[in-house]
Amino acid sequence: MTTYNLALIGFGGVNRALAELIRDEPQRFSSLGFELRVVAITDLAFGSLVQGDGIDLAAVLAMPRGSSFDGLPGGSSDPRNEEVIKNSPADIVVEATFTSPVDGEPAVSHVRWAIESGKHVVTTNKGPVALQGTSLSKLAAGNGVRFEYEGAVMSGTPVIRLAHKMLGGLELNAVQGILNGTSNYVLGRMEAGLRLDEAIAEAQNLGYAEADPTADIGGSDVRLKVAILANELLGATIHPSDVHTTGIQDITSDDVAQALANGLRWKLIGEARRESDGRIVASVQPIALEADHPLAGISGATNAVSFTTDLLGAVTVSGPGAGRVETAYALISDIIAVDDFVKGAVRA
Amino acid sequence: MTTYNLALIGFGGVNRALAELIRDEPQRFSSLGFELRVVAITDLAFGSLVQGDGIDLAAVLAMPRGSSFDGLPGGSSDPRNEEVIKNSPADIVVEATFTSPVDGEPAVSHVRWAIESGKHVVTTNKGPVALQGTSLSKLAAGNGVRFEYEGAVMSGTPVIRLAHKMLGGLELNAVQGILNGTSNYVLGRMEAGLRLDEAIAEAQNLGYAEADPTADIGGSDVRLKVAILANELLGATIHPSDVHTTGIQDITSDDVAQALANGLRWKLIGEARRESDGRIVASVQPIALEADHPLAGISGATNAVSFTTDLLGAVTVSGPGAGRVETAYALISDIIAVDDFVKGAVRA
């Protein structure tokens, strides 16, 4: 059986969830025809750890927050990201650091170092994909490695790969999505009678919304995802700042109630569309959808993307858009794609 | 570029739509890396036509109903299905005759003849898949050819292949679907105030429902699809008669109105589920779904399948479940899968 050596860059919720699955469920991977071994971990808090014969995941997962890899064989209190990414014996670099919506750093550099040193990269990080996706994909192709990022849009729910592999031979003319669970939850609770601030507070109590919900409510989280979808699925070359963005902060309880009374439902819709002149236009904005719109029935924190195609009309996929295990699954699906590539089972 | 020779078995709506796409849009296929040439057509009404260097599709598509292939070079007024399937120079047999819910014939024989003569088979015909899918798949594997049938469940909307290829590494524990557009349309119209018989009449006027709507309303259409999903995705070995089936014929306007008042929506749900003892239980029945159920918002003639997975929870795909062009696309997606197989780009 093939063994892939992994370097985990960032040891927060998502990469910890992946490490737990590798520790607890080796049969999940062996049934796919490969085995995963973590040979390096870097993290701002823990530092770095490189052990070419495989890190004891049970031991590092049990380390309390605030402790350090310093003192372990191959350990350091310093993350040493560049050195670990370039020189560790990893086949696949798993990038799961924080998302910078401005320049995508440090993730962009992490991805670049990995690709340039001949390693495949899988990531759930929107930043590098939204801001440098096209150039990084080109770099990967030139270096004969894969750059996979299914989790950047809707965590483990397949979107990018679904469009590429399941809708072959169709002309894709538009992509519309509910791409932020917090704002969708908030709008749903406003339909149930809450005010915006009450609904946000409830979402925060449930752990859906951050302490600062601006990126969710104001639409900037969705903007990054729309840029990814536009570039990846419609062949655009846009920057997130090209996505005209309006959040739900000005939607009132009255707006929601009045729409409901008319059979309409407010949703925060991220959209990229090919105009008749070939231009790709992308936006994020609240839209009051007719009840029979494919996204009108997407409730709670669920995310969804609807593809407008020439032969099938609308095809819609919905599922989780967040969650540590759900996002870790995106990494697994990316590793399956790397494995397909390594084993030659990829459509030319 | 690879050229695939096709034999079209049945020249009704779906295979005519495929022939029209081949006639009108060769670039759709060349962009996929292959070219399609129809070398044989058989049909109960037209008879049979075999022309190894390619049939003039514009000419045969222009032939009026009631005419015959007799008199054309390679033509006969007799369908000669067995001879054409076994001896025509086709690489891929496209089976689109009528569905027999009893024994799957004549499609089962058509598929068997094709496989045994070393030809790939693509079909949109539920009958052979629901009734003989496992044995036919085994026969195909033994003969080194593909038997592909994405269109048997939800026309061109990807379901079977999506589960196999996009949900790898997940444990799939249940599949629930809205798999009949007519009954879903009828239930929606009953929510708008129509009686069952009025809603059925309207569906008939719109061309959704057959003159005899029994298979749609009574659930037997969905039963075949549930058997396919149970066998294909949950590894069951059930016969359609094992699927406990109740249609929507006894749902009243009062039932629908009362459910709506309680925030519930009646849907005809086809379902296969793995019980804790490993048994697969399959059913078709009307269920009053909570508003936040992934299938509650599926409206009109749209179909949908929701997969219950261990790491992602529910992932749902919705799209058309019928239509001649939509179903012809299922055949195209099957031919892409054959091409992947021929070119070695298939995961082992």
Interchain proximity B319–A314, CB inside 8 Å: yes
Instruction: Find the residue in B nearest to A162 (Cα).
Output: B166
- What is the per-residue pLDDT across B149-176, written as a single tens digit (0 to 9) for each? 999 999 999 999 999 999 999 999 999 9
Find, among A93, A95, A41, A38, the residue nearest to A68 by Cα. A41
Q: A316 and chain B: CB distance < 8 Å anywhere?
A: yes
Q: Which residues of B touch A343 (CB under 8 A)?
A: 347-348
Q: What range does the domain containing A219 cover?
A: 161-319
Same domain? A206 vs A244: yes
Q: Identify whether A348 is part of a domain.
A: no
CA distances from B116 to B73, B86, B138 (A): 27, 8, 12
| pLDDT of A57 higher than 90 | yes
Asked whether the beta carbons of residue B157 and residue A31 sit closer than 8 angstroms, the reply is no
What residues are paired with B313 via a beta bridge?
B309
Based on the residue annotation, tell me whether A119 is a catalytic residue of this protein.
no
Please state the domain count of chain A: 2
Torsional class of A242: left (φ above 0), alpha (ψ -120 to 50), beta (otherwise):
alpha
Cα torsion angle, B196, B202, B203, B205, sign = positive
Give yes or no: residues B75 and B218 share one domain: no
User: Which single residue is written with the structure tokens 């557009």?
Assistant: B181
Task: Provide ipTM, 2 decimals.
Answer: 0.96
Same domain, A152 and A183: no
Which of A32, A168, A297 is nearest residue B169 as measured by Cβ atoms? A32
For residue range A234-253, list pLDDT tens digits in order.
999 999 999 999 999 999 99
Q: What is the pLDDT of residue B344?
A: 86
What is the pLDDT averaged over residues A126-136? 97
The answer, for A279 touching chain B at a CB cutoff of 8 Å, is: no
Residues of chain B with pLDDT under 50: none
Q: Could you tell me if B4 lies within 8 Å of chain A, comparing CB atoms? A: no
CA dist A295 and A316 (Å) reads: 8
A175 and A54 in a common domain: no
Looking up residue B138, the CATH number of its domain turns out to be 3.40.50.720
Within a domain: residue B75?
yes
> What CATH number is associated with residue A241?
3.30.360.10
Does residue B22 sit in the same domain as residue B133? yes
- CA-CA distances (angstroms) from residue A315 to A322, B190, B302, B337? 21, 25, 10, 19
Domain membership flag for residue B347: no
If we measure between CA atoms, which residue out of B111, B107, B109, B108 comes closest to residue B147?
B111
pLDDT in tens, B282-313: 999 999 999 889 999 999 999 999 999 999 99
Give CA–CA dist B12/B169, Å, rounded: 39
Are B188 and B153 members of one domain?
no
Residues of B that are catalytic:
225
Same domain flag for B180 and B297: yes
Same domain, A179 and A78: no
The answer to whether residue B266 is domain-embedded is yes
The answer to whether residue A70 is domain-embedded is: yes
Q: Would residue A59 count as lying in a domain?
A: yes
Q: For strands B313-319 and B303-309, give the pairing.
A: antiparallel
Residue A95 belongs to a domain = yes
Whether residue A144 is found in the same domain as residue A167 = no
In a domain, B348, yes or no: no
Phi, psi (deg, nearest 5) at residue B23:
-65, -45
Q: Are residues B129 and B177 in the same domain?
A: no
Residues of B in contact with A170 (CB under 8 A): 329
Which of A119, A126, A225, A267 is an active site residue? A225
Give tens-digit pLDDT for A188-211.
999 999 999 999 999 999 888 777
At residue B346, what are phi and psi to the nearest 5 degrees?
A: -130, 135
Q: For A288-305, what is each residue's pLDDT tens digit?
A: 999 889 999 999 999 999
**CA-nearest residue of chain A to B293?**
A299
A141 and A179 co-located in one domain: no
Contact criterion met (CB below 8 Å) for B119 and B94: no
A286 and A147 both lie in a single domain = no
